[in-house]
Amino acid sequence: MITPLLDHSRIVSCDPVPTPADLRLNVPASDAARSTVGRARTAASDIVAGRDDRLLVVVGPCSVHDPRAAMDYAARLAEQSRRHRDRLQVVMRVYFEKPRTTLGWKGLLNDPHLDGSHDIATGLLTGRMLLRDIAQLGLATAGEFLDPASSEYLADLVGYGAIGARTAASQVHRQMVSGLPMPVGIKNSTDGDVQVAVDGVVSAASAHRFLGTDPSGRLASVGTIGNPDAHVILRGGSTGPNYDAASVADTVARLGRAGLPQRVVIDASHGNSAKNHLRQRDVLRNIAARVAMGEDGIAGVMAESFLVEGRQDLGAGPLTYGQSITDACLGWDSTVELLDVLSSAVSARRAA
């Protein structure tokens, strides 16, 4: 008689990948990369806490699918970052993991060859090398932490982290943030609920103990001390945008009632631009004007930008170099212009 398998009947493959420790040994963080990451973390922490009056600017592609184009963008952004360093702390979005509403390409870690071959081992290697190479340019990177299993491979090279709108309520993600070594923004949910992000910050700021992995990839009982630099990112939602002064004031009041620092980062994209990438320009100009007028509570902004404006569909023919295959992005020229606007806003606030 054949006994049916009761546990693995729906798993068709289970291929080994290198452990986090193996990958870190293979692609070590250089001194230059480590120093970029460390300085950016301190700066982001100081800005979010109000100890540094610069604006945190997290900008870059919605997702990275072509490491060469990402390096090209990084070289240009590193130059802009140096130009504005007295007024802005610029961090590049280097997003490798995409949380999909239903289905779609899940990012470079999951499918680096963009063809459904899901070569995760190569995705991890490519991702780690890219984070190291960008940090070596003196530019820090930001990433969304989506799969807790991947954080051990990359977190040492990341300057700023985000928890996305689709996982802000997840205890697993809040626990992970409580042990991450960088400032992490937690987004409001896709339906616009901000309280879920405030609750996420409360949870992430606390110590936890949970089932996780150690650097060798073994399951372990992990204990954390809490992340004091966790904060809210306002990204708008299906009910409308929330980048306006009233929404910021409401969020800041919620943070105050929870005993948390009363500062937020505002994402100009997603629900705040109704997924129209060009609206990010209006959102960022509006925020810059308010920063210039001295509005409290805005620690930083996030925007989606790449070399070429707009987006393209994967699988629809040869890809345009430097254009997003997930959400539409601002192009490079608009990005430079908006960095100038944000930088001038900080100068104006100081002068006032």
Ligand X SMILES: O=C[C@H](O)[C@H](O)COP(=O)(O)O
Q: Note the residues at the interface with ligand X (CB under 6 A).
A: 62, 98-101, 104, 270, 326-327
Question: For residues 115 and 105, what is the distance between their CA atoms, to the nearest angstrom?
Answer: 9
CB of 74 to ligand PEP, least distance (A): 17
153 contact choice in ligand PEP, ligand X, none (CB below 5 to 8 Å, kind-dependent): none
CB of 200 to ligand X, least distance (A): 18
- Of the pair 156, 309, the CB lying nearest ligand X is at 309
165 contact choice in ligand X, ligand PEP, none (CB below 5 to 8 Å, kind-dependent): ligand PEP
The answer to whether 89 touches 59, Cβ cutoff 8 Å, is no
- Of the pair 179, 241, the CB lying nearest ligand X is at 241
101 contact choice in ligand X, ligand PEP, none (CB below 5 to 8 Å, kind-dependent): ligand X
**Tokens, residue 138:** 């003196």
Which residues of the chain form beta strands (DSSP E)?
55-60, 88-93, 140-144, 160-163, 184-187, 209-213, 219-223, 231-236, 264-271, 298-304
- Of the pair 80, 326, the CB lying nearest ligand X is at 326
- Of the pair 266, 292, the CB lying nearest ligand X is at 266
100 contact choice in ligand PEP, ligand X, none (CB below 5 to 8 Å, kind-dependent): ligand X
215 contact choice in ligand PEP, ligand X, none (CB below 5 to 8 Å, kind-dependent): none
Question: For residues 91 and 160, what is the distance between their CA atoms, to the nearest angstrom?
Answer: 8
Could you tell me how many residues make up the chain?
352
Residue number with the shortest CB distance to ligand PEP? 164
CB of 197 to ligand X, least distance (A): 16
CB of 107 to ligand X, least distance (A): 9
CB of 19 to ligand X, least distance (A): 28
Task: Report the first-to-last Cα separation within the chain, whole angstroms.
Answer: 83
54 contact choice in ligand PEP, ligand X, none (CB below 5 to 8 Å, kind-dependent): none
CB of 305 to ligand PEP, least distance (A): 12
**How is 9-73 classified by DSSP, letter by letter?**
TT---------HHHHHHHSPPPHHHHHHHHHHHHHHHHHHHTSS-SEEEEEE-SS---HHHHHHH
- Of the pair 62, 232, the CB lying nearest ligand X is at 62
Q: What contacts 147, CB < 8 A, 6 or more positions away?
A: 97, 109
- Of the pair 96, 153, the CB lying nearest ligand PEP is at 96
235 contact choice in ligand PEP, ligand X, none (CB below 5 to 8 Å, kind-dependent): ligand PEP
104 contact choice in ligand PEP, ligand X, none (CB below 5 to 8 Å, kind-dependent): ligand X
The answer to whether 265 touches 55, Cβ cutoff 8 Å, is no
144 contact choice in ligand PEP, ligand X, none (CB below 5 to 8 Å, kind-dependent): ligand PEP
CB of 294 to ligand PEP, least distance (A): 27
- Of the pair 104, 223, the CB lying nearest ligand PEP is at 104
Longest Cα–Cα distance in the chain: 83
- Of the pair 100, 209, the CB lying nearest ligand X is at 100
- Of the pair 175, 273, the CB lying nearest ligand PEP is at 273
Question: For residues 31 and 33, what is the distance between their CA atoms, to the nearest angstrom?
Answer: 5
The answer to whether 313 touches 326, Cβ cutoff 8 Å, is no
Binding residues vs ligand PEP (CB under 6 A): 62, 95, 99, 144, 164-166, 187, 235, 270
**Placement of tokens 């190569």 in the chain:** 122
Q: What contacts 83, CB < 8 A, 6 or more positions away?
A: 339, 343
CB of 197 to ligand PEP, least distance (A): 10
Q: What contacts 27, CB < 8 A, 6 or more positions away?
A: 125, 128, 129, 132
